[in-house]
Chains A and B, each alone.
Chain A
């Protein structure tokens, strides 16, 4: 893994993605409900860094990934890529950004057009980028070798249904990599795959990232997977960052109560491993109706009165940043 201290490739400042929900009626009542999918998120990513975005469904991790790739426009804050605000990108600059930043989708069975052969699937981005047709096949074969599909030529004229899940996820990765991006966002890329083939896809992801020096975001709810591919982890809950720090520190000594629950919940394949009771209240986060103060307080076993009054902000604690009043010694 690369550890560089150069200028950040990506900087996110107070990013917000708020959706108006509910119809005209609730708007007439004067208080249209808003879902804050991403709510005031700030962090930077160094060139070559791999960052895991960790949290449950609805925590905003996928929304954050979509914002970074400009698949969704932020409703507030600023996201800069290589110094440029991505919200301002237009025309050729936007097109260049689209080829430099790529998304690896969760479900390979949905992410690929079933009526395209593998050759067509991989030609499309090359065509869009203006690569001459004579060069395309060589590029396709070499990217399929990169993702370790052996004898790639045999797959070129096959359709997605003729490939296994593991093979197909490699094609999805190949499509994201074929324009030689600097930055990829992978959204739970192995969650739809059998355990026996997950390891192969994760290994390819790690290798490719190291070989190409990619900057990567890996989105997951499973810390064991994030740990396998990311040196740094950002924990999100209801649109906010709860904890941010080196993955190994988070695994061995989670600080935020929510992170503690995520660590305790990770499934372990060893039957002799003891399991702690899950330190979290029942229920699921309700993005339409977040609690006042700390959004996690209604499930937090340590909540005290300040938590309902005051929103905790990210503060540095040792190697990490934590948004929790338990770690704020200023009061």
Chain B
């Protein structure tokens, strides 16, 4: 395998809260191969957005990267001097923030906002910037005549396209998209995902797609990284992780989803309980309090992320029994009778 575009090893990000500290990301490791889409999945508070932000080193004032490596093009983004890091932002690594459609400035036309990036960051002249604006709009499928429109004149889906155009402005190698379709209707969601996939393939870039929605991963991603309570609990090819989920949390996510093709009489299986308070994480596996397959060891010993197949890693003490657990996990009785989230 060729060297990945991005390789994250044992990343730690902490927030200072009052007199205490919360390790929102506690030793995350994953790779982003060239020309691929990686889905970073998990529920609210699992640390997925913190990882995404840490990759650009644009993090909250009370947050700090406290350990690990983020290798990108032979350089470690964790230790890179701020000036060099800043030069990478937007040019090499672009970020589409959550609800990007609301992140556009309402008092400027979208062309003005594109121009700002192209001219200030990209150093383009006026004419080149204009040409690039038109190119970008064509790329994301919006009529160039609408460049002079203001954000409120666009629908939600169109604004999301504008946000994608903004991210692609300077030909980045890596685009990080934080929940790009969460607020959208199914039809627009599908259109935006199709567009992202087309652009990714045409431009040969890599995308990290942060989402809580496993169907988005199934539709568009090549690889999956599942996070739970600040840790990566499962990673691998999308096919392997979703057809043979081997961490009970991934199994749970898979079964919690209504399937239009499935039997009408099926009952959805929730993952009862809530993620732990990261100020006081459980000593063993962080999923242990919600896990229907918990053993005594799980409550005391943290399971390491270990390979179970060529391109599939899981952090679970019972990874060896995954096939049996998958069968049990498909039954709702397995998950019932726990605390309610």
* A in complex with B: yes
A residues near B, CB below 8 A?
56-57, 148-150, 164-167, 170, 194-203, 221-225, 227-228, 248, 251, 261-273, 275, 278, 280, 282, 284
B256:A196 contact, CB within 8 angstroms: yes
Chain A min CB distance to B78 (Å): 29
Q: Is the CB of A197 within 8 A of B185?
A: no
In the complex, the answer to whether B264 meets A227 with C-beta atoms within 8 Å is yes
Interface membership of B108, Cβ < 8 A: no
- A196 touching B215 by the CB < 8 A rule? no
Contact A221 B186 (CB under 8 A): yes
Q: Can you list, as one digit per residue, whether each of B237-257 has a CB less than 8 Å from chain A (1) or not (0)?
A: 011001100000000111011
Determine whether B258 belongs to the interface, using a CB cutoff of 8 Å to chain A: yes
A221-B186, A262-B187, A270-B261 given as contacts; is B340 within 8 A of A170 (CB)? Answer: yes
A284 to B253, CA, bound (A): 31
- Please indicate the chain A residues that have their CB under 8 angstroms from the CB of B135 in the complex: none
**Cross-chain contact B218 with A271 (CB below 8 angstroms):** yes
Contact assessment for A195 and B187 in the assembled complex, using a CB-CB cutoff below 8 Å: no
Chain A min CB distance to B250 (Å): 11
Residues of B within 8 A of A200 (CB): 270, 272, 340-341
Given contacts A271-B242, A278-B190, are A57 and B44 in contact (CB under 8 A)?
no
A–B pairs, 16, beta carbons within 8 Å: A56-B187, A57-B185, A148-B340, A165-B341, A199-B270, A199-B271, A200-B270, A200-B272, A223-B260, A251-B264, A262-B187, A268-B261, A269-B242, A273-B261, A278-B194, A282-B141
**Nearest A-chain residue to B158, judged by Cβ:** A284
B269 partner residues in chain A, CB cutoff 8 A: 199
Evaluate contact between B185 and A56: CB separation under 8 angstroms: yes
Nearest CB of chain A from residue B175's CB, rounded to whole Å = 21
B219 touches A267 (CB 8 A): yes
**Pairs A-B, 3 closest by C-beta atoms:** A267-B215, A200-B270, A199-B268
* Cross-chain contact A224 with B340 (CB below 8 angstroms): no
**CB distance A197 to B214 under 8 Å?**
no
A194 to B257, CA, bound (A): 11
Contact call B186/A194, Cβ cutoff below 8 A:
no
Chain A residues contacting B264 (CB-CB under 8 Å) are 227, 248, 251
Whether the pair B242, A282 counts as a contact (CB closer than 8 A) is: no
Q: Are A198 and B270 in contact (CB under 8 A)?
A: yes
Give the distance in Å from the alpha carbon of A282 to the alpha carbon of B192 in the complex: 11
Asked whether A224 and B259 contact (CB < 8 A) given A150-B340, A267-B216, A268-B215, the answer is: yes
Residues A284 and B258 in contact in the complex (CB < 8 Å), given A167-B340, A196-B270: no
A164-B341, A282-B141 in contact; A199/B186 too (CB < 8 A)? Answer: no
CB nearest neighbor in B for A231? B264
How long is the Cα–Cα vector from A163 to B214 in the complex, in angstroms? 25
Contact B188 A56 (CB under 8 A): yes
Which residue of chain A is the closest to B239 with respect to CB atoms?
Answer: A271
- Distance (whole angstroms) from the CB of B256 to the closest CB of chain A: 4
Choose one: B191, B238, B259; the contact of A268 (CB below 8 Å). B259
Apart from A223-B260, A284-B188, 5 more pairs, CB < 8 Å: A200-B341, A266-B260, A268-B218, A268-B219, A270-B218
Docked complex Cα distance between A164 and B277 (Å): 12
Q: Is B43 interfacial (CB-CB < 8 Å)?
A: yes
- Report how far A203 CA is from B215 CA in the complex, Å: 20
List chain A residues, Cβ under 8 A from B44: 165, 194
Cα A275 to Cα B260 in complex, Å, equals 12
Q: Please tell me which one of the listed residues A56, A196, A273 contacts residue B253 in the complex, with CB atoms under 8 A apart.
A: A196
B324 close to A (CB within 8 Å): no
* Of A57, A165, A170, the contact of B156 (CB 8 Å cutoff): A57
Does A150 lie within 8 Å of B253, measured CB to CB?
no
**B341–A166 CB distance below 8 A:** yes
Bitwise interface map of B from 254 to 294 toward A, beta carbon under 8 Å scored 1, else 0: 10111111001001111110100000000000000000000
Residue ID in chain A nearest B219 by CB atoms: A267
Q: Is B212 an interface residue (CB 8 A)?
A: yes
Say yes or no: is B1 at the interface (Cβ < 8 Å to chain A).
no
Q: Which residues of B contact A198 (CB under 8 A)?
A: 256, 268, 270
B141 to A, closest residue via Cβ: A282
Q: State whether A195 touches B214 (Cβ < 8 A).
A: yes
Query: Is the C-beta of B189 less than 8 angstroms from some C-beta in chain A?
Result: yes
A223 to B, closest residue via Cβ: B260
| Interface membership of B213, Cβ < 8 A | yes
Q: What residues of B have a CB within 8 angstroms of the CB of A194 in the complex?
A: 43-44, 212
Residue of B nearest to A198 (CB): B256
Closest partner residue, chain A, to B290 (CB atom): A196
Q: Chain A residues near B155 (CB, 8 Å)?
A: 284
Q: How far is the CA of A57 from the CA of B215 in the complex (A)?
A: 21
* Interface mask (B212-230 → A, CB under 8 Å = 1, otherwise 0): 1111101100000000000
Closest to B256 in A: A199
Does A150 lie within 8 Å of B339, measured CB to CB?
yes
Does the CB pair B186–A267 fall under 8 Å? yes
A227 to B266, CA, bound (A): 11
* B27 located at the interface, meaning its Cβ lies under 8 Å from any Cβ of chain A in the complex: no
B256:A267 contact, CB within 8 angstroms: no
Determine whether B4 belongs to the interface, using a CB cutoff of 8 Å to chain A: no
Structural contact, A228 and B188, CB atoms closer than 8 A:
no
**A205-B252 Cα distance, complex, nearest whole Å:** 20
Q: How many Å lie between the Cα of A272 and that of B268 in the bound state?
A: 20
Assembled-state Cα–Cα distance A166/B214 (Å): 18
The answer to whether A196 and B43 touch across the interface, beta carbons within 8 angstroms, is yes
Give chain B residues whose Cβ lies under 8 Å from the Cβ of A165.
Answer: 44, 341
B258 touches A224 (CB 8 A): yes
Report yes or no: B254 in contact with A149, Cβ–Cβ below 8 A.
no
What separation, in Å, do the CA atoms of A261 and B257 have in the docked complex?
A: 20
B172 CB-CB contact with A under 8 Å: no
**Complex Cα gap A195–B191 (Å):** 21
A100 CA to B330 CA in the complex, in Å? 38
In the bound assembly, the distance between CA atoms of A288 and B214 in angstroms comes to: 36
CA of A221 to CA of B156 in the docked complex: distance in angstroms?
A: 15
B122 within 8 A of A: no
Whether B259 pairs with A270 at a CB distance below 8 angstroms is yes
A270 to B213, CA, bound (A): 12
Are A269 and B190 in contact (CB-based, < 8 A)? no
B253 touches A195 (CB 8 A): yes
